[in-house]
Structure 1
Amino acid sequence: MGIYDFNILTDHDKYDTVFTKGKFVDTVLSGNVKYVLYSLSYFWVEVQYNSFENKIIGISSFVAGKSLDRYSNLPKMF
């Protein structure tokens, strides 16, 4: 499955795909939002949780960029 095929899925099917076929990579906590990164085929999927309410609040897919940079331990240059 490619990123474009993933993006046209319903939210329910996106979550089902990520939780059954995705590989957990990392978690980052920022305030009350927990970002969880999964690898799926040749792209990344991030699931966002409200950590206080223990609820999923979003899902996004990407290949690179600021969302992926969040999981880097490198210091911010800009």
Structure 2
Amino acid sequence: MTLYEFNLLNLNDKMEAVNQYGTFLDNHVTTKERCNLYAIDMFFVEVVYNAEHNSITEIRSFKTGHLLAKYSNLDRTV
């Protein structure tokens, strides 16, 4: 699956693709949201959950960029 093909899917189909093809890499938790990072082929997918309602609010897909910074050990406070 390519990034372009993934981006054409609706929210439910994106989540199904993440479950079927995604490899879990990491998570990031704040007071407002929880994010899980997955890899599918040659791109990343970030599944964003509303922490209060425990529901998926957004699925972001990308190849590189600032969205990866929060998963870096350099960006985390210990």
For residues 41 and 56 of structure 1, what CA distance do their matches in structure 2 show?
Answer: 22
Unmatched tracts of structure 1, length 5 or more: none
Contact map agreement 2:69 2:75 (CA 8 A) in 1 = no
- Please report the TM-score for the alignment, with normalisation by the length of structure 2: 0.90
What is the CA deviation profile of residues 28-78 of structure 1, one whole-angstrom value per residue up to 9, with x for unaligned ones? 0122200100000000000000112111110010001111111001149xx
Secondary structure of residue in 1 paired with 2:14: helix
Determine if the alignment matches structure 1 residue 38 to structure 2 residue 32: no
Partner of 2:68: 68
For residues 61 and 48 of structure 2, what CA distance do their matches in structure 1 show?
Answer: 11
Partner of 1:56: 56
Q: Please list every run of at least 4 consecutive aligned residues from structure 1 whose deviation after the TM superposition is greater than 6 angstroms.
A: none
Unmatched tracts of structure 2, length 5 or more: none
For residues 69 and 53 of structure 1, what CA distance do their matches in structure 2 show?
Answer: 26
Matched residues, number = 76
Query: RMSD across aligned C-alpha pairs, in angstroms?
Result: 1.3
Partner of 1:21: 21
Percent identity over paired residues: 39
Letter in 2 for 1:49: Y
Secondary structure of residue in 1 paired with 2:15: helix
Shift of 1:20: 1.6
Determine if the alignment matches structure 1 residue 4 to structure 2 residue 15: no
